[in-house]
Amino acid sequence: MKSDIKSVQDVFLIEHEEKHAKHYAHLSVLRDIFSSLHQLLHTAIKENFPGTKSALKKIQFFTMLMAIDELNETMIVNLEQKRFSAAEAVARVALEHTVNFLYVIDDTGTQRALSLLNQHFVGARARANKWHGYAQGAGDTEGVKVAKARLQYLNLTEEVVPEVRNAKPWPNVRNIFQTLEIEHFYHDLFTPASDSVHTLAEDICNLFLAHFSNADQRDLVIRATISGKMSFAIYLCASVLTFYVDAIHKLAIEMKDDTMRVKAEELADAANKVTLSMNTDTVSDILTTYPEASITQ
């Protein structure tokens, strides 16, 4: 009986490894999608985002989209070099910036743009106050002076844009996902990928559990674990590109550029085909392994 169970486990692990290893073949498609998005973005930059009247929003669009573009290229390069942990961490950062962009562009006015600008003053002032308090307690007179100078600078620069005083607080990430009605992806993408930024605890746990597999299965379990990690990195990066496509699509609508809009829609179809096929494989694995899964809180 034990040998039969082992045989079934071996078959599942081999199929799991092979199935997820094939996901790496999607990389060439992702590279092509990114290259097309890169070209569309630089066209928008050259045209100075026509359709957007607010100077603040234009600057935010430029800053955020350039950062997103750079992060996504770095993400693809890390995948190509099989640096999957680095790809996941970069993808997680790119996802947050992209969702922030979608939140700002979704506002026809400037309320959210001002909230984002105000977040600089709120965050920087909080950090400077903490630094000042630490320096005082540590007897660091130079640190106290630098922190005071930072606070003075923030007070002076804030006077240049008095509108921020009436700005609403910048929401937390989950609230942004909820406002955009995409909370599913907060749970499916953002929070799992956050582990790659903060602790790597899941990767450690997966390999730790693999270590306790039967000796004759251990190598196979480890290979299956690694192929699963690779697959998640590809899926995450492909999903992040779908958000980038959405960002460029909304930018095209704002610019009233039908050529850019149609191209973004074509890229969305290509990216969605990748994520949908990979998601089907992942769900199949989960339901095969845990057919009667229960929720423990």
Between residues 219 and 14, the one the model is more confident about: 219
Q: Could you tell me which residues come within 8 angstroms of residue 19 by beta carbon, excluding any fewer than 6 positions away?
A: 281, 285
From the list 174, 188, 191, the residue with the least C-alpha distance to 278 is 188
Dump pLDDT digits (tens) for 66-83: 999 999 999 999 999 999
Residue 46 burial by Cβ neighbours in a 10 Å radius (0-12, 13-18, 19+): exposed
The residue-averaged pLDDT of 278-286 equals 60
pLDDT confidence of residue 87: 96
- pLDDT score, position 1: 43
Residues 6+ apart with CB under 8 A from 168: 111, 115
User: 200: closest CA among 289, 59, 92, 80?
Assistant: 92
Per-residue pLDDT band at 18 (split at 50, 70, 90) = low
Q: How many C-alpha atoms does 198 have within 13 Å on its Cβ side? A: 8
* pLDDT tens, position by position, 242-268: 999 999 999 999 999 999 999 999 999
Under the banding of pLDDT at 50, 70 and 90, the label for residue 215 is confident
Distance CA 228, CA 222 (A): 10
Amino acid letter for position 142:
E
* Range scoring the smallest mean pLDDT among 41-50, 164-173, 218-227: 218-227
Distance between CA atoms of residues 278 and 272, nearest Å: 10
State residue 108's pLDDT score. 94
Which residue would you say has higher pLDDT here, 15 or 166? Answer: 166
> What pLDDT shows up at residue 220?
79
Output 217 or 80, whichever has higher pLDDT.
Answer: 80
For residue 291, the model assigns a pLDDT of: 46
Mapped onto helix, strand or coil, the DSSP state of residue 84 is helix
Domain definitions of the chain by residue range: 2-106+180-289, 110-171
| Max intra-chain CA distance, the chain | 77
pLDDT band at 63 (very low <50, low <70, confident <90, very high): very high
**pLDDT band at residue 290 using 50, 70 and 90 as cut-offs:** very low
Average pLDDT on 192-206 reads 92
pLDDT at 297: 52
Q: How far is CA 132 from the centre of its chain?
A: 33
Q: What is the distance of C-alpha 102 from the center of its chain?
A: 13
Whether the CA torsion 285, 289, 291, 296 is positive or negative: it is negative
- pLDDT category at 286 given cuts 50, 70, 90 is very low
User: Which pLDDT tens digit goes with each residue over 119-139?
Assistant: 999 999 999 999 999 999 999
DSSP state of 172: P
Average the pLDDT over 35-60 and give the result: 94
How large is the angle between the packed helices 218-255 and 55-80, nearest 10 degrees? 150
Neighbours of 119 (CB within 10 A): 16
Report yes or no: 112 and 257 within 8 Å, Cβ to Cβ. Answer: no
Minimum mean pLDDT range among 14-23, 95-104, 205-214 = 14-23
CA dihedral of 36, 236, 283, 174, whole degrees rounded to 10: -110
Mean pLDDT taken over the chain: 88
CA atoms within 13 A on the CB side of 84: 18
Residue among 239, 241, 237, 209 nearest 225 (CA):
209
Of 90, 103, 121, the C-alpha closest to 60 is: 103
Q: Is the pLDDT of residue 55 over 80?
A: yes
Residue 211 exposed, middle or buried by CB count within 10 Å (0-12, 13-18, 19+): exposed
